[in-house]
Structure 1
Amino acid sequence: MSRPEHTAPPELYYNEREASKYQQNSRMREIQTVLTRRALELLCLPDRKSCFLLDIGCGTGISGEEISAQGHYWTGIDISPHMLNVALEQGVEGDLFWRDMGQGLNFRAGTFDGALSISALQWLCNADRKSHNPIKRLNCFFQSLYKVLSRGSRAVLQFYPETAEQMNLIIQSALRAGFGGGTVVDYPNSSKAKKIYLVLICGPETVLLPHVEGLMDSSVSYLASKKAKRTAKGQRITLKEFIRRKKERQRKQGRIAVRPDSKYSGRKRRVKW
């Protein structure tokens, strides 16, 4: 079965027919609701306090219904007018905006107490038009997301990366924008039930995401940080040690084509005349 991103651009793929499925198909609604509950859990919102959240790729408002059920307020954006029309027909409580997240989020700085997104982030890795550059669109999205979040808040983005390189591209774009955090993977040993959440912390400094207790069965946490990847200032390492660390980092990122370690790694080559 082909991925939706390979079928058509999101504004065309989510047409009237596809939008009606989210309204009528109870299985799709159930999956969306479960994913939203998990994202809200990872947001670590304060107890007994209503927060103002941003739902990125809100679709027909299924995630918004769960946000409202937990006593929070929300605003949603989506690129598909058909999905937004269904949300309006359902009478959702949040405010809706027709917006391409790859063009940035046009809200005031520090507006939201948190943000979540379900099954939308991977669309930014596609170039559906000649003017689309995935790296620029990801950078624009994460930079604007960092701006609209209040300091100390979190963003939880559930997505389906196609390759390890695509996943690494997304993580690096988030770190470049100033976020700290990493990914949380639920059911990593199951190809069908596996779910990946990018958990980002918005703060003045890049920090590591602490280990999250109480995850689903067989869950693991991968941590990423700018500071963790840098060598201490003034510390010198050999070329062989540099290559070893680079390979180890790539293995942690899940890359498949990583050359095995060898005693010849980093050796000085003779110049051929």
Structure 2
Amino acid sequence: MFKWLLLIAGAYLFYRWLKGKKQLQAADKKTHHSSPNQAQKAIDPEVMVQCQHCKLHLPKSEAKAFEERFYCSQEHLNGLDQDGWVGSAKWRLSPNQDIRPEGVSPDLVVIHHISLPPGEFKTQNSSQYIIDFFQNQLDVRAHPYFEEIAGQKVSSHFLITRTGELVQFVSTQNKAWHAGVSSFMGREKCNDFSIGIELEGDGDTLFEDAQYQVLKTLTQLLASRYPNLQFAGHSDIAPDRKTDPGTHFDWKKFQNETGISPENLPYGLTPR
């Protein structure tokens, strides 16, 4: 009887030893497979990016991203940086620009309208044609009207589409080719000292509320950087050649929403 008890006890101890050994092997195997990943996570550094506005370096996971650019805050994303670019705008660089004359900063905003092909925005989204035009990439085969403007090299600082998208082509520090032969209160060559804003539209159609809202925000940004800005339409500075932004641009609405002093609207608030 005693022998049987010894055999049973020995078998039980062997079973416990064998089970423990298998548990150790399983744990070692698990550790072997998981450790490299955990170690990799521990040694991989956080990807760092630079704020386009203030040049601060910060983890990518904490940055505000827009069009492959990064910003440290919503304020900087929506702001006008020191290089003259609005963070929340789509940047589509135009080759049609120059450096401003030495010592000259913009003190005038010129409001335009543009539609390519004329009136096409009423039936379909045609904003890309304007972007292509300002970048000298317009396909003249896409519409008969484009043959008439082929070879023209023009640009504006900003475009506000019918849906309220803001597109920027030229830094506010530089001169865009938007005004042409022009005169503001006796000062010639308005491109030298002005910022051009194009509203997608024509002379026969009301502008969208979304466009006025973006124009308001943009105007306030520009006014905070360039004090005492004055505002005019293209027709005001080139009356013999241009009619934009036209009678459907609401100057009273623009003045009320932006809070611009009437003194900074020298041509008045009457539609023209």
TM-score (norm 2): 0.27
Larger relative CO (CA 8 A, sep 6+): 1 or 2?
A: 2
- Bigger Rg over Cα: 2
TM-score (norm 1): 0.27
